[in-house]
């Protein structure tokens, strides 16, 4: 059964901003991955269809499928992990998530569902401005 990770998108304003940042990093690095100090111990479960769910402004808003985990060492001999992800960002229904450091495991039962695709093939996401207003009103 797949297991997921949740990670804060620090300094990111909305999904489009995350898309631009991730695209720039992919172009700069030659691949789409996230660097983390600790390698997840439950790697087999993560690689069995798991995703990284990104928290933007206190809400899980989007996910990226995990496609690989690579252990590396820096020039000082300290270990780190590269979490390789699919380049596609998939919008999810917003779900509140409290701040934390690093990443956390996210059981499948707690993962928000993807936003359903519209009949025309597009994503039926609410505009960011409307979502922000609903959050301010305490409705989501």
How far are the Cα atoms of 39, 72, 132, 136 from residue 82, in angstroms, in the given order?
8, 7, 32, 36
- Distance, CA of 68 to chain centre: 14
pLDDT per residue of the chain (140 residues) written in tens, 0 to 9: 789 999 999 999 988 999 999 999 888 888 888 888 888 999 999 999 999 999 999 999 999 999 999 988 888 889 899 999 998 899 998 888 888 888 999 999 999 999 876 433 444 456 767 766 776 777 66
8 A C-beta contact, residue 61 and residue 113: no
pLDDT attached to residue 131: 67
- Largest pairwise CA distance in the chain: 53
* Per-domain boundaries in the chain: 4-115
- Distance, CA of 127 to chain centre: 19
CATH fit for domain 4-115, picks 2.30.130, 2.30.30, 1.10.10, 3.40.50: 2.30.130
pLDDT attached to residue 37: 87
Report the predicted TM-score, pTM, of the whole model to 2 decimal places.
0.81
pLDDT attached to residue 122: 46
């Amino acid at each position: 059964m797949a297991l997921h990770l949740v990670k804060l998108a620090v300094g990111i304003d909305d999904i489009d901003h995350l898309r631009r940042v991730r695209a720039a990093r992919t172009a700069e690095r030659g691949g789409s991955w996230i660097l983390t100090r600790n390698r997840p111990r439950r790697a087999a479960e993560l690689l069995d269809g798991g995703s990284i769910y990104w928290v933007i402004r206190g809400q899980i808003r989007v996910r990226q499928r995990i496609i690989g985990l690579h252990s590396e060492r820096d020039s000082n001999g300290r270990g780190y992990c590269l979490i390789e992800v699919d380049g596609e960002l998939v919008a999810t229904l917003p779900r509140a998530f409290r701040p934390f450091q690093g990443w956390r495991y996210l059981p499948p039962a707690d993962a928000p569902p993807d936003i359903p695709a519209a009949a025309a093939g597009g994503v039926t996401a609410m505009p960011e401005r409307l979502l922000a207003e609903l959050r301010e009103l305490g409705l989501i």
